[in-house]
Amino acid sequence: MRAVSTAETAPTIHPWAIHAEALKVRAGRHLAVDGLDLSLATGVHGLLGRNGAGKTTLMRALATVLKPAGGRLTVLGSSVDGRADLRQARRSLGYLPQHFGYYPRFTLREFVSYLAWLKEMPKRDIPAATQRAIDRVGLTAKADARLRTLSGGMLRRAGVAQAIVNDPQVLLLDEPTVGLDPEQRLDLRELLRDLGTDACVLVSTHLVEDVVAACTEVVLINEGRLVWQGTPTALAAQGDERHPGDSPAERGYSALLRGHHAEVVR
Ligand SMILES: Nc1ncnc2c1ncn2[C@@H]1O[C@H](COP(=O)(O)OP(=O)(O)OP(=O)(O)O)[C@@H](O)[C@H]1O
């Protein structure tokens, strides 16, 4: 493998980390993302939507795993259209898929190091970056445990560790809180807030309360399109007692999905 120079991995400034216009993405034969416009900069963005809204399909396209079927998509200045060389953008991406594969006999340290190597990190940086990523997800004591011995919540955190090992400029986390106990959910929220100070973090979740606690912005999609984008405070202001929910933000979420407003609030 070719050695990568520091200049190649240095952060580059783009007006939008993620920019999509009339984006269409297929999941199998189904057009799961169908005309989505979205621009995201630095910060923590919570991706909300009903089951089947297209969140995972959108995440996979942003991670450059799926090629768009139409429209335009730019990630860190690179156009994702099947023609461009995406190696540079991929080095600056972190992605936790909804379901991720792993070798059960790998230790956590081997797993995270292997992913760092796949992301073409400079070899000399990998041991320290691996340790830091493991520490940041609270799995220091499990660093040399085999993955097959970890609990479901620990495996989810192992998945977050591999996603952040390269200090990504764009971090995509598909349902990272699944299986986490309440204490770990609080720790993950804190980690997200920290990561979002200098990266564009997009977190898909069904937990509106996590979005309110950890995100600077809410992105709500339905049937593969953007329904609403705005701050958690603005989300809470969308609903009232007539809408179902245990908190103002949950009532705002219900109100928006019932109304299907195609509105962007910043
Ligand atoms: N391989 C596939 N073949 C056909 N249709 C698919 C395929 N994968 C997903 N879909 C459909 O595409 C739509 C969007 O699915 P996607 O998984 O992106 O939604 P989601 O918002 O992530 O849902 P969830 O919250 O349940 O994870 C759904 O209607 C789903 O049934």
Q: What is the mean pLDDT of residues 173-202?
A: 92
What pLDDT, on a 0 to 100 scale, did the predictor assign at position 88?
Answer: 83
CB 222 near ligand 1, within 6 Å: no
What does the alpha-carbon distance between residue 67 and residue 104 come to, in Å, rounded to a whole number? 30
Q: Is the pLDDT score of 38 beyond 70?
A: yes
How many other CB atoms are there within 10 angstroms of residue 184's CB atom? 17
Indicate if ligand 1 lies below 6 Å from the C-beta of 30.
Answer: yes
Task: Give the model's pLDDT for residue 89.
Answer: 85
74 lines ligand 1 (CB under 6 A): no
Average pLDDT for the chain: 90
Please say whether the beta carbons of 76 and 12 come within 8 A: yes
Among 10-14, 48-52, 223-227, 235-239, which stretch is predicted with the lowest mean pLDDT? Answer: 10-14
Residue 7 alpha carbon to ligand 1 centre in Å? 39
57 Cβ closer than 6 Å to some ligand 1 atom: yes
For the whole model, what pTM was predicted?
Answer: 0.91
What is the pLDDT at residue 112?
97
Q: What b/e sequence results for 7-20 when a residue is b if at least 16 CB atoms lie within 10 Å of its CB, and e otherwise?
A: eebeeeebebbbbb
Q: Is 224 near ligand 1, meaning CB less than 6 Å away?
A: no
Give yes or no for a contact between 144 and 107, defined as CB atoms under 8 angstroms apart.
Answer: yes
Q: How confident is the model over 68-79, as pLDDT tens digits?
A: 999 999 999 889
Q: In the structure, what pLDDT confidence band is assigned to residue 234 with cuts at 50, 70 and 90?
A: very high
Amino acid 86: pLDDT:
81
At residue 15, the pLDDT reads: 77
Q: What is the pLDDT of residue 75?
A: 94
Answer whether 49 contacts ligand 1 (Cβ < 6 A): yes
Mutate-to-test residue for ligand 1 from 34, 47, 55, 204, highest number of ligand atoms within 8 A of CB: 55
Distance 50 CA to ligand 1 centre (A): 10
- DSSP 3-state of 186: helix
CA of 254 to the centre of ligand 1 (A): 21
Find the Cα–Cα–Cα–Cα dihedral 46, 102, 54, 193, rounded to 10°: 10
Residue 110: pLDDT band by 50, 70, 90 thresholds?
very high
Instruction: Report which protein residue has its CA nearest ligand 1's atom 26.
Output: 51
Q: Average pLDDT, stretch 221-249?
A: 93
Ligand 1 centroid–CA 32 distance in Å is 6
Distance 27 CA to ligand 1 centre (A): 7
CA of 203 from ligand 1 middle (Å) equals: 17
* 97 C-beta closer than 6 A to ligand 1: no
Tell me, in angstroms, the distance from the centre of ligand 1 to residue 223's CA.
10
For residues 231-244, average pLDDT: 91
For residue 13, name the pLDDT band (cuts at 50, 70, 90). low
Nearest CA to 40 among 254, 165, 204?
A: 204
Whether residue 28 has its Cβ less than 6 Å from ligand 1: yes
Q: What is the pLDDT of residues 197-215, one digit of tens each?
A: 999 999 999 899 999 999 9
- pLDDT of amino acid 5: 47
| Confidence at residue 261, expressed as pLDDT on a 0 to 100 scale | 46
DSSP class of residue 180 equals -
For residue 60, the ligand 1 atom closest to its alpha carbon is 18
Quick one: average pLDDT of 9-14?
53
The SS3 assignment for 203 reads strand
Rounded distance from Cα 175 to ligand 1 centre (Å)? 14
